[in-house]
Structure 1
Amino acid sequence: MGFERAGFKTIWANDFNADACKTHENWSTAKVVCGDVAKVDATDIPDADIMLGGFPCQGFSLSGPRKIDDSRNVLYKHYVRIVKEKKPLMFVGENVKGLLTMGGGTIIEAIVEDFSQCGYNVFYKLLNAKDYAVPEDRERVIIVGFRKDLNITEFEFPVPRNYRVTMREALKNIPEPEPDEVCNAPYSSRYMSRNRKRGWDDVSYTIPAMAKQVTLWPGSPDMVKLDKDLWKFGDNGVTRRFSWREAAAIQTFPPDLEFYGDLTSKYKQIGNAVPVKLAETVATHLYGVLSNRLRDGKKRKTN
């Protein structure tokens, strides 16, 4: 969605999650293929100037077990396979912060090398969404590759902005949620092991994909620390998690976008997504880089 806002046109998409596919079809005119990417034949994918891929990150995440041999960690190979065959002008990948330290840095080095062998100059950087008009503390690795015949050997990522969007601003037009829009599952010992609430004039903690781990609405009472890795909810007020609509607003989705599936599925889709405004910032920057390079190349040919 962020790339569409920046001027690109999505023509083909793939996801394994049926609800995510239906949600995508709800805002896009792209052909959406729902199924395992490992079974997708690259020849069935239309040619495009740019390819986007968010390969699974569970095996790389700092918030869970980190295993070099996690089967999900090799799914990026299918992204490499498709990029190699389709040869877009550039590609973009996104993953969690843990990717940079996994295996002492060997995983990110392997990813860069694989794409380089496909004919791309590859750049990556850890960006925080809160620096790009997203009211959320969300660090993600952005990987960008330019086809080597474009001769882009240096690349700078978008510069962080000098202001922050707060939850007060982001949620000001979001209505009080209905009971069925908020996860009311029991709070686990893991959940209660740290503070889960930030105030209205701050940015949110990272929106997770698991409904039970979604952090607290900023109008909740402050949590109180009892001991190391042990907190309790405050008194004198209503304590609740973000509703799925509030979580979507934090991720900078438009307020009128409807997500398909049950409540758990909606939270999962939202938490797994790249914040729209972060994607838009990166896309706008790349649009300028690509446009300038193609214009320069055309001038050279006509001189």
Structure 2
Amino acid sequence: MAKRISMIDLFAGCGGMTSGFMAAKGYKPVMAVEWDLHAAATYASNFGEEHMRWGDIAKIQDHEIPRADVIIGGPPCQGFSNLGTRDVNDPRNKLWKEYIRFVQHAKPNVFVIENVDRFLKSSEFLLLQEEVREGGLLDGYELTSGILMAANYGAPQRRKRAIVIGSKIGKIPLPPQTHGQGNPIGLKPWRTVKDAFDRQGLADKPETTALPASSARFFGETVPGVFKSKDLHLGRTPTDLSLLRYAHVPPGGGRFNLPEELLPNCWKKKTSGTTDVMGRMQWNEPSLTIRTEFFKPEKGQYLHPQWESGKNGYRVDRPITHREAALLQTFPDNFQWCGTKIQIAKQIGNAVPPALAEAIAKHLKPYLLGTPQR
């Protein structure tokens, strides 16, 4: 029987990163840690409750940390402060100290950190680099870092993430790009919004605005759920003013397409920037980044892509649904969810796209199994 690669997922959220690693085959989660109850419940409903630790990571004792081949996860960056004292006792670095503690005790051959793209210019990243030097807490590991865009790895979304690979089995490069814009030689074309939505049977007008009335128990607590992916195709009830605004925005357009009489005062005064606000997606392009408030068009390019010009052109004037956002994030059809609508939206928007995580996992596998294809 083939060796299974044991892994720990820290700051796991709803399990986007674990989902991708599991899709890559050959990985076995032995521990996951998440402080948010509803995200932890979503993780547990998909990957099992027995290895998920819901709560403060600092309360997990050293002796409770299992050995693992790989650790994945993204400690939150609290402020991205200017480089200064490099004080490892700075309260903002508490969660980073916890991540390092897990690496020290689990002794993985590889760890993977994901974070927002500006992480690589943060004081937290500088501290990480200090710790892999001789005498540091992570002495023996070599770092590789860079910015990866999810669209280049099979997700229909232009989401950029900082990825850091730490290895004590030799320096591991970042995974090679698998997809590209246009018709690139040797690469698959970018996946588009149309690719994500097609064949899903998604109604242009969702039948409901509410999740089903159901609850489940995880970790001794009652949470809303467990919901199937199809339950997340939820509509909203926009105002007449919002509908008038939506109707003026073509694919790829945004707030600058609105006539002046439909502009709120704050937009009238701001004559540049925030170009994706009140934006409409394009069928034949990847979406922009799916954030936690994707159900609010005033927050970004979140209007449904269907829009035809002309008086009788067919238009779908609504923001994307939770289901559609999860598809753009590449969550599988059988993924299950726990929480309220807002809580689930946060889980979707905060997650690492499973397609990106899967590409990283496939790339790491031969190194972890001792058979790298250099």
Report the TM-score when normalising by structure 2: 0.65
Q: CA deviation at 1:86?
A: 1.9
**2:334 matched to which residue of 1?**
256
Aligned pair count? 272
Q: Do structure 1's residue 38 and structure 2's residue 58 form an aligned pair?
A: yes
Relative to structure 1, is the Cα distance of residues 72 and 171 closer, same or farther in structure 2, using a 3 angstrom cutoff? farther
Q: Do structure 1's residue 289 and structure 2's residue 306 form an aligned pair?
A: no
**1:3 matched to which residue of 2?**
21
Q: How does 1:121-160 map to 2 (within 5 A)?
A: 121-147=142-168, 150=169, 152-153=170-171, 155-160=173-178
Q: Deviations over 1:32-75 (max 9, x none)?
A: 11111122223212211111122114634xxxxx6779955542
Q: Deviations over 1:119-158 (max 9, x none)?
A: 31111111000001100000001111112xx2x0353432
Q: CA deviation at 1:87?
A: 1.1
Q: CA deviation at 1:78?
A: 1.1
Relative to structure 1, is the Cα distance of residues 245 and 156 closer, same or farther in structure 2, using a 3 angstrom cutoff? closer
For structure 2, the 5+ residue unaligned runs are: 1-18, 85-89, 180-186, 211-233, 243-263
2:304–2:317 Cα contact (<8 Å) kept:
no
Secondary structure of the residue aligned to 1:9 is strand
Alpha-carbon distance in structure 2 between the residues aligned to 1:157 and 1:182: 38
1:214–1:242 Cα contact (<8 Å) kept:
no
Q: Determine which of 35, 58, 67 is the counterpart of 1:16.
A: 35
**2:215 matched to which residue of 1?**
none
Q: Do structure 1's residue 164 and structure 2's residue 190 form an aligned pair?
A: yes
Relative to structure 1, is the Cα distance of residues 214 and 13 closer, same or farther in structure 2, using a 3 angstrom cutoff? farther
Report the TM-score when normalising by structure 1: 0.79
Alpha-carbon distance in structure 1 between the residues aligned to 2:172 and 2:166: 11
2:146–2:174 Cα contact (<8 Å) kept:
no
Alpha-carbon distance in structure 2 between the residues aligned to 1:14 and 1:154: 26
Q: Deviations over 1:189-240 (max 9, x none)?
A: 5899423222110101101023543642433549xxxxxxxxxxxx974432
Identity of aligned pairs, percent? 31
Relative to structure 1, is the Cα distance of residues 86 and 115 closer, same or farther in structure 2, using a 3 angstrom cutoff? farther
**1:25 matched to which residue of 2?**
44
One-letter code of the match for 1:110? L
Superposition RMSD on alpha carbons, in Å?
Answer: 3.0
Relative to structure 1, is the Cα distance of residues 183 and 21 closer, same or farther in structure 2, using a 3 angstrom cutoff? farther
Alpha-carbon distance in structure 2 between the residues aligned to 1:143 and 1:183: 39
Relative to structure 1, is the Cα distance of residues 49 and 174 closer, same or farther in structure 2, using a 3 angstrom cutoff? farther
**1:218 matched to which residue of 2?**
304
**1:179 matched to which residue of 2?**
209
Alpha-carbon distance in structure 2 between the residues aligned to 1:174 and 1:145: 42
Q: Which moved more, 1:245-254 or 1:78-87?
A: 78-87
Q: Determine which of 275, 280, 286 is the counterpart of 2:353.
A: 275
Q: Which moved more, 1:116-125 or 1:208-217?
A: 208-217
One-letter code of the match for 1:41? Q
